[in-house]
Amino acid sequence: MQGCFASLLRVRNGLYQFSIQYSNEAEFPKPLLAFSDPAFWHKHADAEEVIRRLSNASYKLKRYENTLANVVVAYRDI
């Protein structure tokens, strides 16, 4: 999930330019207009940050040498 969000943020400028350039075309799908909305990208970045924290905690907790303190710190960081 984090990979999907991160890849969208990497191509953000391209998607933004694409939606601006072709938004006046008759066949342009209306849901893609979200790519030209700055609020969409702000919300997307916020969601990606939350997911990144969950992914990091999950990754850290998969190691076998974790202690209870490691688990508490991982969930605190979320």
pLDDT tens for each residue of 33-54: 998 998 988 888 888 777 777 7
pLDDT digits (tens, 9 = 90+) for 19-36: 999 999 999 999 999 989
Residue 22 has phi, psi (to 5 degrees) of -110, 5
Check: pTM over 0.75? Answer yes or no.
Answer: no
